[in-house]
């Protein structure tokens, strides 16, 4: 009985020791901003144990700010203490959720409390106040705008919407690739409420030099075909675009050895500061169409119609081919169809229809072709009546009717044995088909087979063959798997030697080249090394994605800042013309060599553990 009370206390305290200690907090990188300036709100969850299936706290909608994007990250740290000769280890896992928001208007608003639910418990953060000044954030080196070919449209009329991001050639600005897709998604969401939206830029983003307000800019444009589907006054809201402003970081030390060999790698480099630029909003007046004629099928805009027959003289009972063609500057669904007039004395078959769509920077154009087989039934002079088709012309604010025909036909006497075509088989045709049928006849005598096939020697020889094939295929698959693993390991082992060799060759020639010419080669070598050594697709990956992928390989987090700073410096030379950083090509090659050695040491150290 004397052990009952301590055992009971231990059992009661067991759930408290197993349950993780969770701390939840929310903070912002700034609480004073201007309309359009980006604010990063971070929700941090700190736990002593791993939290499975942890969901990002939902952010309620607000009229005071718009959410540009969200991201999340996870890292783990541990500490070891020796107390009274006993070693104690503590683990701390941190989950961070980032919300990138942009204020919509001046004034003060309260960022709401966020709620986190996990393991049956609910955690709430404290709300805080954000003050928004009245002055808009503007950067004279970058310009974001939207414009349309026409602002006063009829329902069904096509125009071109252009989203443009332009910056000055020597501006220290980087335009991330993923932000273009975010802009496309927002444009399609905003405009898709009142318009039929079609992308006109394919998978390529063109760049050209242009002059805006007397100054030279490098302009990137996305073009969309938009067609109103509702009438009234409609608006397309402002589109935010997040870019990176590149700034030179100040040095934190002056050391001849470090500054001469590593340059700006430690304590210097280029800092990419996220900024948000807002486009203008667009308003449209969408008008309804006036009452339409009976021949109107829905086409609005420039259109053409033509028709022809393949011959003007035909024997009775034979077919004439009637071809119709419609062309319009619109989508296929808006082009409509054509209706033939009533054709008495003709047998008309269902037409063969083909639709061709052409998408260019000037918009969408559609062409439809109809191929009818028309069979005159009686001998004599006849004709295919006039065919009319109507469309609405916005330039004249009226319906236009175009027509073709009539098409006169001279129907001569048919062949002597010609008769009206039937939709069933005649007796003679049935007899012809019957002559092609050959029945399967069985032989009159059947050879007896032995009821015991297992006594056949051939059966005994072939019986174990499937088992041998199964064993052989299993061994072959295992051998191929081992070869693939060995090949992958060989690629990883040669990754560092190949990268260092390439960097050495660039370093030998770097004294004769400019930094911006070498930066692209260095970036390619670094991306190839990371892909071969760690199996990570570094090209096109964001900073958070690359850090998270390298962390999974056990690389130290203290290395990430220096690694990303070097990549941003390369981007400054490649895309910003080197305006944000100074240095030589030889210096860049040495920094890349140092990074590869650091990564290799970290990877080998993890493998040794």
Q: What is the pLDDT of residues 57-116, one digit of tens each?
A: 888 888 888 888 888 888 777 666 666 666 666 778 888 998 888 888 788 888 888 988
Distances in whole angstroms, Cα of residue 338 to Cα of each of 294, 305, 326, 570: 11, 10, 8, 59
Average pLDDT estimate for 14-40: 72
474: pLDDT strictly greater than 50: yes
- Residue 353's beta-bridge partner residues? 370
Average pLDDT estimate for 507-516: 70
Return the closest-CA partner of residue 151 out of 262, 286, 259, 28. Answer: 286
5: pLDDT strictly greater than 50: no
CB 158 within 8 A of CB 227: yes
Architecture of domain 299-412: Sandwich (2.60)
Domain positions in the chain are: 20-132, 142-287, 299-412, 484-608
> What is the rounded distance in angstroms from the CA atom of residue 496 to the CA atom of residue 607?
15
pLDDT of the residue at 267: 46
> What is the rounded distance in angstroms from the CA atom of residue 91 to the CA atom of residue 565?
29
Top mean-pLDDT range of 6-15, 72-81, 470-479? 470-479
pLDDT of the residue at 428: 57
| Minimum mean pLDDT range among 181-190, 476-485, 502-511 | 502-511
- Residue 401's beta-bridge partner residues? 390
Per the listing, tokens 């990549």 go with 567
Say what percent of the chain tops pLDDT 70: 76
Sign of CA pseudo-dihedral 145, 151, 156, 158: negative
> What is the rounded distance in angstroms from the CA atom of residue 136 to the CA atom of residue 276?
11
Return the closest-CA partner of residue 79 out of 62, 97, 99, 93. Answer: 93
Say what percent of the chain tops pLDDT 90: 10
Return the closest-CA partner of residue 99 out of 122, 79, 70. Answer: 70
Pick the CATH number of 20-132 from 1.10.287.3510, 2.60.40.740, 3.40.50.1820, 3.40.1260.10: 2.60.40.740
pLDDT of the residue at 378: 83
pLDDT of the residue at 430: 59
CB 106 within 8 A of CB 35: yes
Same fold across 20-132 and 299-412: yes
How deeply is 268 buried, as exposed, middle or buried, from its count of CB atoms within 10 A (0-12, 13-18, 19+)?
buried
pLDDT of the residue at 580: 40
pLDDT confidence band for 10 (50 / 70 / 90): very low
194: left (phi over 0), alpha (psi -120 to 50) or beta: alpha
Average pLDDT estimate for 374-388: 87
CB 44 within 8 A of CB 64: no
347 CB contacts (<8 Å, ≥6 apart)?
Answer: 374, 375, 377, 421
pLDDT of the residue at 287: 92
pLDDT confidence band for 283 (50 / 70 / 90): very high
Return the closest-CA partner of residue 229 out of 146, 301, 154. Answer: 154
| Minimum mean pLDDT range among 127-141, 160-174, 443-457, 523-537 | 443-457
The per-residue pLDDT for range 214-258, each reduced to its tens digit, is: 788 889 988 999 999 999 999 998 888 888 888 776 555 445 444
576: pLDDT strictly greater than 70: no
Q: How many CA atoms does the CB half-sphere of 308 hold within 13 Å?
A: 5
The per-residue pLDDT for range 151-179, each reduced to its tens digit, is: 999 999 999 999 999 988 888 888 887 78
Distances in whole angstroms, Cα of residue 381 to Cα of each of 348, 418, 507: 18, 19, 89
Mean pLDDT rounded to a whole number for the chain: 78
Strands 128-132 and 346-348 turn out to be: unpaired
43: pLDDT strictly greater than 80: yes
pLDDT of the residue at 367: 92
pLDDT of the residue at 121: 85
Per the listing, tokens 């670094």 go with 526
| Minimum mean pLDDT range among 31-45, 388-402, 429-443, 583-597 | 429-443
């Amino acid at each position: 009985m004397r052990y009952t009370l301590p055992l009971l206390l231990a059992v009661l305290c067991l759930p408290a020791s197993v349950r993780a200690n969770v701390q939840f907090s929310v903070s912002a990188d700034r609480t004073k901003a201007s309309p359009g300036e980006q604010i990063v709100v971070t929700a941090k969850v700190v736990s002593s144990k791993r939290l499975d299936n942890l969901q990002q706290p939902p952010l309620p909608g607000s009229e005071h700010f718009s959410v540009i994007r969200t991201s999340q990250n996870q890292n783990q740290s541990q500490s070891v203490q020796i107390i009274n000769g006993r070693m104690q280890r503590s683990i701390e896992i941190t989950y961070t959720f980032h919300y990138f928001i942009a204020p919509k208007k001046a004034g003060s608003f309260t960022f709401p409390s966020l709620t986190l639910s996990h393991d049956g418990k609910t955690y709430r953060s404290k709300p805080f106040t954000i003050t928004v000044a009245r002055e808009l954030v503007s950067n004279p080196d970058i310009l974001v705008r939207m414009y349309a070919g026409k602002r006063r449209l009829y329902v069904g009329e096509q125009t071109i919407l252009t989203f443009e991001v332009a910056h000055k050639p020597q501006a220290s600005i980087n335009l991330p690739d993923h932000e273009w897709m975010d802009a496309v998604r927002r444009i399609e969401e905003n405009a898709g409420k009142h318009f039929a939206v079609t992308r006109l830029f394919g998978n390529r983003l063109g760049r050209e030099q242009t002059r805006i307000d007397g100054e030279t800019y490098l302009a990137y444009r996305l073009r969309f075909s938009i067609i109103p589907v509702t009438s009234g006054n409609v608006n397309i809201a402002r589109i935010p675009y997040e870019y990176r402003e590149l700034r030179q970081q100040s040095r934190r030390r002056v050391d001849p050895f470090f500054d001469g060999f590593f340059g700006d790698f430690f304590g210097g480099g280029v800092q990419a500061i996220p900024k948000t630029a807002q486009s203008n909003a667009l308003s449209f007046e969408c008008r309804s169409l006036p009452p339409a004629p009976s021949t109107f099928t829905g086409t609005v805009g420039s259109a053409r119609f033509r028709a022809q027959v393949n011959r003007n003289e035909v024997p009775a009972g034979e077919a004439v081919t009637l071809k119709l063609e419609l062309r319009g500057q619109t989508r296929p669904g808006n082009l409509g169809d054509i209706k033939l007039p009533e054709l008495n004395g003709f047998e008309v078959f269902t037409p063969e229809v083909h639709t061709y769509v052409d998408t260019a920077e000037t918009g969408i154009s559609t062409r439809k072709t109809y191929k009818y087989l028309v069979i005159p039934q009686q001998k004599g002079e006849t004709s295919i009546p006039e065919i009319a088709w109507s469309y609405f012309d916005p330039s004249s604010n009226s319906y236009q009717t175009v027509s073709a025909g009539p098409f006169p036909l001279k129907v001569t006497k048919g062949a002597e044995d010609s008769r009206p075509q039937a939709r069933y088989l005649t007796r003679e045709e049935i007899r012809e088909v019957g002559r092609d049928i050959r029945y399967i006849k069985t032989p009159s005598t059947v050879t007896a087979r032995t009821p015991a096939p297992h006594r056949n020697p051939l059966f005994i020889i072939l019986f174990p063959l499937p088992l041998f094939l199964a064993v052989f295929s299993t061994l072959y698959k295992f051998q191929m798997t081992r070869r693939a693993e060995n090949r992958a390991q060989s690629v990883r082992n040669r990754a560092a030697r190949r990268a260092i060799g390439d960097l050495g060759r660039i370093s030998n020639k770097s004294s004769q080249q400019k930094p911006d010419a070498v930066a692209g080669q260095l970036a390619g070598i670094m991306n190839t090394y990371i892909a071969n050594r760690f199996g990570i697709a570094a090209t096109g990956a964001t900073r958070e994605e690359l850090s998270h992928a390298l962390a999974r390989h056990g690389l130290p987090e203290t290395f990430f800042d220096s690694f990303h700073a070097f990549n941003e410096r390369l981007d400054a030379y490649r895309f910003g013309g080197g305006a944000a950083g100074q240095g030589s090509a030889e210096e860049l090659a040495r920094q890349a060599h140092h990074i590869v050695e650091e990564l290799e040491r970290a990877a080998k150290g993890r493998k040794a553990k």
